[in-house]
Amino acid sequence: MNENVERILFTEEQLKYRVREMAEEINNYYNGEAVTVISVLKGSVVFAVDLIKQLNMPVSLDFICASSYGSGTISSGKLIIKKDVELEIEGQNILLLEDIIDTGETLHEIIKMLKGRGTKSIATAMMFNKPARRKKAVQADFIGFDIPDEFVVGYGLDYDEQYRNLPYLGVLKRSVYEE
Ligand code: XMP
Ligand code: MG
């Protein structure tokens, strides 16, 4: 285990097993209809790679890099798009992939923006859900695991761009980010 990880929440095996179950749910949901999978950079890349190998419908893959910001008390509802999707998404079934939903602000804004482009449908799949800090009710169609309100790393999730490569999900030691 990495020296900065306090404890493991889900092992590589548990994550792999759950992704397989989610893929089955998603395959049943789309029933062979073509899907454009949009992976939200960078955190969901590891999840996306594991998931799409198990999908059995025609799949195209694209990426978006965005962050939301609110100014303290006022939720501005602004989205900064650092990298937009490249595929034409009008009339497409969109499956949006996120690593973790925390306050829900980012996903809320991304969904709103994509809907404005005339997509046929939008569904969301998130590997981890942290319901404790939710500010915006967001559409969550497929959820891997609910997790407690702790800072987690691994399986694509970073602290200061590190630890994305850990194959498990772990709680980061407080000493790493405090002081
Ligand atoms: P929202 O808008 O839902 O943003 O608050 C979700 C984004 O916040 C980051 N995040 C985390 N990243 N460990 C991480 O590595 C965590 O425990 C964590 N909680 C939130 C992440 O970038 C996610 O996309
Ligand atoms: Mg991050």
Cα 107 to ligand 1 centroid, rounded to whole Å: 11
CATH number for position 75: 3.40.50.2020
Q: How many domains are there within the chain?
A: 1
Q: From the CB of 103, is ligand 1 less than 6 Å away?
A: yes
Instruction: Establish if 154 belongs to a structural domain.
Output: no
Q: In residues, how long is the chain?
A: 179
Q: How far is 99 from 144, CA to CA, in rounded Å?
A: 9
User: What is the pLDDT, as a whole number, of residue 73?
Assistant: 42
Instruction: Establish if 1 belongs to a structural domain.
Output: no
Per-position pLDDT tens, the chain of length 179: 999 999 999 999 999 999 999 999 999 999 999 999 999 999 999 999 999 999 999 999 999 998 776 544 444 457 889 999 999 999 999 999 999 999 998 899 999 999 999 999 999 999 999 999 888 889 999 999 999 999 999 999 999 999 999 999 999 999 999 87
Instruction: Establish if 112 belongs to a structural domain.
Output: yes
User: Which domain range does residue 96 map to?
Assistant: 17-147
* Beta sheet of 5-10, edge-to-edge order: 5-10, 169-172, 152-153
Cα 151 to ligand 2 centroid, rounded to whole Å: 11
The ligand whose atoms approach the alpha carbon of 152 most closely is: 1
Instruction: Establish if 69 belongs to a structural domain.
Output: yes
User: What is the pLDDT, as a whole number, of residue 174?
Assistant: 94
Contact 81, 64 (CB under 8 A): yes
Instruction: Establish if 21 belongs to a structural domain.
Output: yes
Among protein residues, the one whose CA lies closest to atom 23 of ligand 1: 100
Ligand 1 pocket: which of 63, 68, 102 to mutate (most atoms within 8 A of CB): 102
Instruction: Establish if 164 belongs to a structural domain.
Output: no
User: What is the pLDDT, as a whole number, of residue 55?
Assistant: 98
Q: At what angle do helices 12-30 and 45-52 cross, to 10 degrees?
A: 60
Contact 126, 100 (CB under 8 A): yes
User: What is the pLDDT, as a whole number, of residue 71?
Assistant: 47
